[in-house]
């Protein structure tokens, strides 16, 4: 049964759309019958894409063919993406921005909405996560093994729900659809300029990849398979200035007010006899640190696919993915870790941010080794069956699982307290310590040569400690779905689609466990003397030169040796699986149904097409947690004490809710090369798993607190939540209007306006619950319960894309092209300052932040030239400042990432028909990663990691 032809104009457009769909290996139920109706003269050209400029050509073709609003970068071959990582590929898509981590792209935001409001899939299936939230580690899917990425910016009823900002879908190859034999291999060297500073390292690493694809005739059908491997070792050193995670407001001056730790009181001199909040005050961290760090990541990944088409009506696919990442980090810190003590002579800017001050602190030599292993396993089975000419059925079953384990080994040696003068500089320079001295009243006369003294381990003679940490996360998703698509003969409606999907997510996040051993006072001298055998030469040259660090080296200890010295014969064995209030044990079951109809017609003589549908989603949440078990003791005065014992009370929460998600996508062809797009839809995002914890923590209750009954003790704010299993979803209403002009197959101009309303403000609230103490259940009010408030916010923005190849220019300039994209976002969302160590009146004075992850401006410019043998691409990426939360801690201060500007360069040269040489430099200008808190100037991180160079040879059969 054929689709009705509206007119010749309509048919020509359909040919273009069908060609694009074939190029993307996505054909509709009517593709075969559609092609059969075309004469030989009308046969559609199928676009084969293999190079940089062809990735843009295919992106234009895909955007034009899709009914939803979608942007993509896709190539035919496995491993042909022209970027060093999938995250870097995503950054080339309009409106997509990445968080820079250790010099590379990591967490992805779409149109200014943070990672927690997006969703990522692989071949249309949800991906597990080892991070405790729903963000995906794109590094587990190497760009060498992925042949396409799509970003869906509007929803249709048949798409998996879960992204208010959008859905990112990674695609892998289908070998029969690819249709030919192909072998390719690449050997890639890496060079890290910061790694080369290390005395025992030349800065080089390596990556290798290979893949093979082939298809065979089997009976009347075809059988194909593809397999690929990518792996290698990547150094990731860094030089950093950072502060502790807590921030406090104080107004005391040691020289005027006395005292030890800084305070915020009306009686302090800065209050001028009034309220402290009306006088001058300052924000200060508990510690500041200079860090030298070496890290290496070793990755291996395999992706395989089998496709069998026994007949032209049956398509059977199986795909599997495996990756393993081993990460090693060796930190060596010089830390002033009593930074709030005896603060004096302080100066601030207009936002109460310190520009200089004097303090007293111990100086700590801290060393930490981190080892982290993460393994991902995924598999999917898919069958498409053309039951009749009018009906197609599709079945899909999948598994995705991630396990992450981390071990931390930590040592600390601290000096006796010294006074110091601290001075802020700028975002490119580490703050300075201009003087260290022993007598507050004689700074010049008691000054010490601290940059020299810190190289002597004997300087750190006050105390010492060893710690061991471990955590483990296990996340598994099992899913299945069934879809049906029916060709209609009902006026303007062309297809009717319906489907069912079910998934079950099992998530165990075992809170990090810690065991420590402090050196007894009488043993400190002996332990310090023994630790001297663990000293090693300072391992690198030129530490801190880019950040103009005030210190260039300090006593360097082998962390394993120092740890063994500190613990002696003791064994510190943290057990993350031992019950803890911080543990997350979550089961999330999602069932969904949808119905959708495609349509096409004419409106005022113009061709119009689109889809309309609705998706119903039902969610079941089951969360288990623990509360420490207590025995009630009563003294002779009638006061109680809660004594913890060796058991726990189990908390079991269940919650279920439903959402209805209508969607409409409309495309109106104004001219043959110009279209107007409109989308309206409801969307949802799911809170991160760590917010669903069921653990409840009871504060220490002693006789001195004066409570006479458990009810009185519990209900006096002494029970706090480690999550909220009753959280529902973040919901949004979304509208978009766009205009696209397709001048040629390699030229496009696109502009769109989008508007979203949503309720996504997280905060800590209270809830009435029951807590068991000594076998009795008590009604109490639980504090700090994560809550999504009903406050409605909105975000609106505009998005522009321009892609053009200058193919009308004379050779060789006809290989020149450019891609420009810009996204502007604005929101009335408010994230108030919530720092738990900042007084309430001072929090109210802090300018609120916007939505987490929201950058007002995101731009990407790429200029490229590609000829028969050579290619070059220069990229500039800009992202304006944005809020970056501290995970699930709702009582931390607002943290802002400064504007990010990155320049990357890529070169390629085809040596022979089979061999291509490649060269790439990331972060060409060595831009630091800078973070601030509360307001401009309060730098809590200035991190340099240098440029990264990649070079290699690629062979393609």
pLDDT tens sequence across 870-902: 999 999 999 999 998 877 777 788 999 999 898
CB 49 within 8 Å of CB 23: yes
User: pLDDT band at residue 27, thresholds of 50, 70 and 90?
Assistant: very low
Tell me the percentage of the chain whose pLDDT exceeds 90.
71
| Statement: residue 240 has pLDDT above 60 | yes
| Statement: residue 465 has pLDDT above 80 | yes
**Residues 775/779/780/782 CA torsion (nearest 10 deg):** 90
Task: Please state, in angstroms and rounded to a whole number, the distance separating the CA atoms of residues 833 and 264.
Answer: 18
CB 749 within 8 Å of CB 731: no
pLDDT for the residue 1: 31
User: pLDDT band at residue 32, thresholds of 50, 70 and 90?
Assistant: very low
Q: Which DSSP helix (H) or strand (E) runs through 316?
A: strand 314-336
Number of residues assigned to the chain: 957
| Statement: residue 365 has pLDDT above 60 | yes
Q: Which residues pair with 25 in a beta bridge?
A: none
How many Cα atoms occupy the beta-carbon half-sphere of 358 within 13 Å?
18
Least confident stretch, 113-122, 446-455, 671-680, 817-826: 113-122
pLDDT for the residue 13: 38
Task: Please state, in angstroms and rounded to a whole number, the distance separating the CA atoms of residues 935 and 348.
Answer: 12
| Statement: residue 17 has pLDDT above 70 | no
| Statement: residue 554 has pLDDT above 90 | yes
pLDDT for the residue 235: 85
Task: Please state, in angstroms and rounded to a whole number, the distance separating the CA atoms of residues 92 and 90.
Answer: 5
User: pLDDT band at residue 15, thresholds of 50, 70 and 90?
Assistant: very low
pLDDT in tens, 286-322: 999 999 999 888 999 999 999 999 999 999 999 999 9
Q: Which residues pair with 100 in a beta bridge?
A: 105
- Stronger pLDDT, 51 or 889, i.e. the higher one: 889
Q: What φ, ψ does residue 886 adopt, rounded to 5°?
A: -90, 70
Q: How far is CA 689 from CA 113, 267, 476, 488, 759, in A?
A: 18, 45, 12, 42, 18
Q: Which residues pair with 730 in a beta bridge?
A: 685
Task: Please state, in angstroms and rounded to a whole number, the distance separating the CA atoms of residues 839 and 936.
Answer: 20
Residues 6 or more apart whose Cβ sits within 8 Å of residue 2:
30, 33, 34, 37
The owner of tokens 């302080």 is 346
Of 231, 236, 399, 208, the C-alpha closest to 325 is 231
Bridge-based pairing state of the strands 118-122 and 166-171: parallel
Task: Please state, in angstroms and rounded to a whole number, the distance separating the CA atoms of residues 657 and 922.
Answer: 46
Mean pLDDT of the chain: 89
pLDDT for the residue 77: 56
CB 173 within 8 Å of CB 79: no
User: pLDDT band at residue 81, thresholds of 50, 70 and 90?
Assistant: low
CB 779 within 8 Å of CB 709: no
What is the CB neighbour count within 10 angstroms for residue 668?
16
pLDDT for the residue 770: 92
Q: How far is CA 897 from CA 154, 163, 241, in A?
A: 28, 23, 14
User: pLDDT band at residue 348, thresholds of 50, 70 and 90?
Assistant: very high
For 383, the token pair is 């069958």
User: pLDDT band at residue 76, thresholds of 50, 70 and 90?
Assistant: low
Residues 6 or more apart whose Cβ sits within 8 Å of residue 394:
382, 383, 384, 385, 482, 483, 484, 485
CB 757 within 8 Å of CB 793: yes
| Statement: residue 38 has pLDDT above 70 | no
SS (H, E, C) 351-415: CCEEEEEEEEECEEEEEEEEEEEEEEEEEEEEEEEECCCCEEEEEEEEEEEEEEEEEEEEEEEEC
Bridge-based pairing state of the strands 584-603 and 870-879: unpaired
Residues 6 or more apart whose Cβ sits within 8 Å of residue 297:
139, 233, 234, 236, 325, 326, 327, 328
Highest mean pLDDT of the ranges 80-84, 353-357, 741-745:
353-357
Q: Which DSSP helix (H) or strand (E) runs through 450?
A: helix 450-453
Of 262, 493, 497, the C-alpha closest to 359 is 262
User: pLDDT band at residue 601, thresholds of 50, 70 and 90?
Assistant: very high
| Statement: residue 131 has pLDDT above 50 | yes
Task: Please state, in angstroms and rounded to a whole number, the distance separating the CA atoms of residues 881 and 867.
Answer: 37
Residues 6 or more apart whose Cβ sits within 8 Å of residue 456:
555
How many Cα atoms occupy the beta-carbon half-sphere of 435 within 13 Å?
16
The answer to whether the peptide bond before residue 812 is cis (omega within 30 degrees of 0) is: yes
For 326, the token pair is 């081993």
Q: How far is CA 495 from CA 159, 603, 610, 706, 844, in A?
A: 16, 19, 11, 72, 55
For 632, the token pair is 């009630």
User: Mean pLDDT over residues 269-274, rounded?
Assistant: 95
What is the CB neighbour count within 10 angstroms for residue 945?
28
Task: Please state, in angstroms and rounded to a whole number, the distance separating the CA atoms of residues 82 and 73.
Answer: 10
CB 470 within 8 Å of CB 512: yes
Least confident stretch, 37-41, 69-73, 948-952: 37-41
User: pLDDT band at residue 201, thresholds of 50, 70 and 90?
Assistant: confident
pLDDT for the residue 147: 81
- What SS3 state is found at 59? helix
User: Mean pLDDT over residues 449-474, rounded?
Assistant: 96
Least confident stretch, 9-23, 383-397, 736-750: 9-23
Task: Please state, in angstroms and rounded to a whole number, the distance separating the CA atoms of residues 302 and 320.
Answer: 8
Task: Please state, in angstroms and rounded to a whole number, the distance separating the CA atoms of residues 567 and 559.
Answer: 12
Between vectors from CA 917 to CA 916 and to CA 918, what angle results, nearest 5°? 115
- Stronger pLDDT, 438 or 73, i.e. the higher one: 438
pLDDT for the residue 26: 36
pLDDT for the residue 82: 59
Q: How far is CA 890 from CA 135, 514, 718, 764, in A?
A: 18, 22, 18, 7
What is the CB neighbour count within 10 angstroms for residue 194?
26
| Statement: residue 188 has pLDDT above 80 | yes
pLDDT in tens, 703-746: 999 999 999 999 999 999 999 999 999 999 999 999 999 988 88
User: pLDDT band at residue 75, thresholds of 50, 70 and 90?
Assistant: low
Q: Which residues pair with 612 in a beta bridge?
A: 597, 664
Q: Is the dihedral of CA 441, 445, 446, 449 positive or negative?
A: positive
User: pLDDT band at residue 22, thresholds of 50, 70 and 90?
Assistant: very low
For 459, the token pair is 């300087």
| Statement: residue 432 has pLDDT above 80 | yes
For 365, the token pair is 């030599």
Q: Record the pTM.
A: 0.89
pLDDT for the residue 79: 57
Task: Please state, in angstroms and rounded to a whole number, the distance separating the CA atoms of residues 84 and 295.
Answer: 19
pLDDT for the residue 55: 78
Of 705, 710, 697, 699, the C-alpha closest to 633 is 710
574-599: burial string, b at 16+ Cβ within 10 Å, e else: bebeebbbbbbbbbbebebebbbbbb
Task: Please state, in angstroms and rounded to a whole number, the distance separating the CA atoms of residues 168 and 105.
Answer: 15
Task: Please state, in angstroms and rounded to a whole number, the distance separating the CA atoms of residues 894 and 916.
Answer: 47
pLDDT for the residue 37: 33
CB 802 within 8 Å of CB 766: no
């Amino acid at each position: 049964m054929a689709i009705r032809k509206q007119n010749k104009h309509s048919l020509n457009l359909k040919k273009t759309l069908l060609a694009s769909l074939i190029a993307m290996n996505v054909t509709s139920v009517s593709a075969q019958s559609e092609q059969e109706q075309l004469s030989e003269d009308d046969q559609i050209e199928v676009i084969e894409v293999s190079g940089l400029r062809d990735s843009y050509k295919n992106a234009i073709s895909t955007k034009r063919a899709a009914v939803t609003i979608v942007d993509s970068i896709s190539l035919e071959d496995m491993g042909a993406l022209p970027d060093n990582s999938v995250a870097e590929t995503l950054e080339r898509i309009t409106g997509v921005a990445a968080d820079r981590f250790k010099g590379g792209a990591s967490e992805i935001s779409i149109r200014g909405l943070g990672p927690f409001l997006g969703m990522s899939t692989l071949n249309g299936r949800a991906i597990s996560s080892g991070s405790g939230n729903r963000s995906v580690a794109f590094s587990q899917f190497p760009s060498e093994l992925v042949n396409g990425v799509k970003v869906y910016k509007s929803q249709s009823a048949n798409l998996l729900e879960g992204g208010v900002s959008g859905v990112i879908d990674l695609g892998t190859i289908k070998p029969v659809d690819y249709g030919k034999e192909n072998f390719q291999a690449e050997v890639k060297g890496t060079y890290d300029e910061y790694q080369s500073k290390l005395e025992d390292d030349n800065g080089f690493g390596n990556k290798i990849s290979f893949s093979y694809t082939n298809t065979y005739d089997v009976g009347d059908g075809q059988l194909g398979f593809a397999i690929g491997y990518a792996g290698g070792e990547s150094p990731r050193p860094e030089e950093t200035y950072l502060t502790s995670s807590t921030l406090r407001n104080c107004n005391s001056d040691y020289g005027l007010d006395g005292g030890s730790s800084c305070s915020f009181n009306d009686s302090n001199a800065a209050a001028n006899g009034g309220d402290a909040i009306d006088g001058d005050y300052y924000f200060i961290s508990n510690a500041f640190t200079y860090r030298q760090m070496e890290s290496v990541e070793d990755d291996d990944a395999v992706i395989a696919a089998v496709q069998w088409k026994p007949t032209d009506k049956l398509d059977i696919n199986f795909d599997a993915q495996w990756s393993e990442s081993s990460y090693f980090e060796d930190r060596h810190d010089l830390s002033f870790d009593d930074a709030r003590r005896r603060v004096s002579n302080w100066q601030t800017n207009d936002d109460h941010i310190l520009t200089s001050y004097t303090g007293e602190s111990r100086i700590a030599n801290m060393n930490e080794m981190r080892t982290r292993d993460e393994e991902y396993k995924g598999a999917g089975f898919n069958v498409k069956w053309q039951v009749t000419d009018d009906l197609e059925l599709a079945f899909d079953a999948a598994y995705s699982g991630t396990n992450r384990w981390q071990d931390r080994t930590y040592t600390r040696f601290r000096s006796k307290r010294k006074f110091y003068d601290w001075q802020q500089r700028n975002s490119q320079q580490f703050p300075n310590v201009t003087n260290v001295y022993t007598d507050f009243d004689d700074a010049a006369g008691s000054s010490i040569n601290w940059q020299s003294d810190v190289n002597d381990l004997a300087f750190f003679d006050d105390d010492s400690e060893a710690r061991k940490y471990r955590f483990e996360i296990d996340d598994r998703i099992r899913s299945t779905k069934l879809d049906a698509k029916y060709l209609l003969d009902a006026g303007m409606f062309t297809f009717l689609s319906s489907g069912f999907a079910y998934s079950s997510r099992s998530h165990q996040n075992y809170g990090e466990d810690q065991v420590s051993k402090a050196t007894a006072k009488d043993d400190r001298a002996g332990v310090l003397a023994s630790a001297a055998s663990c000293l090693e030469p300072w391992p690198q040259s030129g530490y801190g030169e880019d950040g103009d660090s005030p210190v260039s080296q300090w006593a360097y200890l082998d962390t394993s040796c120092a740890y063994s010295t500190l613990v002696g014969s003791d064994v510190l064995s943290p057990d993350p699986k031992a019950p803890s209030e911080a543990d997350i044990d979550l089961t999330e079951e999602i069932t969904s149904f949808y119905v959708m109809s495609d349509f096409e017609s004419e409106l005022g003589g113009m061709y119009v097409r689109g889809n309309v549908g609705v998706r119903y989603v039902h969610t079941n949440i089951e969360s288990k947690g623990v509360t420490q078990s207590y025995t009630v003791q009563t003294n002779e005065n009638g006061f109680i004490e809660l004594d913890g014992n060796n058991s726990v009370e189990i908390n079991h929460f269940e919650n279920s809710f439903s959402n209805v998600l209508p969607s409409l996508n409309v495309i109106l062809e104004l001219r043959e090369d110009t279209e107007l797009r409109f989308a309206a839809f409801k969307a949802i995002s799911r809170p991160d798993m760590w917010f669903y914890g069921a653990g409840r923590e009871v504060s220490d209750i002693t006789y001195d607190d004066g409570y006479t009954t458990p009810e009185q003790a519990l209900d006096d704010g002494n029970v706090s939540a480690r999550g909220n299993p009753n959280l529902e979803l973040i919901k949004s209403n979304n509208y978009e209007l766009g205009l696209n002009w397709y001048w040629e197959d390699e030229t496009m101009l696109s502009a769109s306006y989008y508007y979203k309303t949503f309720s996504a403000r997280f905060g800590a609230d209270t809830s009435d619950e029951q807590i068991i103490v000594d076998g009795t259940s008590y009604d109490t009010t639980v504090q700090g319960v994560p809550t999504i408030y009903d406050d409605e916010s909105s975000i609106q923005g505009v998005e522009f894309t321009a892609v053009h190849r200058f193919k009308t220019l004379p050779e060789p300039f006809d290989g020149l092209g450019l891609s420009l994209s810009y996204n502007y976002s604005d929101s009335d969302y408010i994230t108030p300052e919530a720092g738990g160590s900042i007084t309430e009146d001072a929090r109210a004075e802090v300018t609120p932040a916007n939505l987490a992850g929201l950058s007002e401006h995101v731009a990407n410019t790429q200029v490229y030239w590609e000829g028969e043998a050579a290619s070059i691409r220069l990229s500039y990426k800009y992202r304006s400042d944005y809020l970056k939360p501290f995970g699930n801690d709702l009582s931390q201060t607002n943290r802002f990432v400064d504007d990010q500007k990155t320049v990357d360069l890529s070169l390629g040269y085809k040596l022979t028909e089979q061999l291509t040489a490649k060269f790439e430099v990331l972060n060409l200008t060595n831009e630091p990663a800078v973070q601030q808190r509360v307001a401009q100037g309060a730098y809590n991180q200035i991190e340099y990691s240098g440029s990264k160079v990649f070079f290699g040879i690629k062979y393609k059969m």
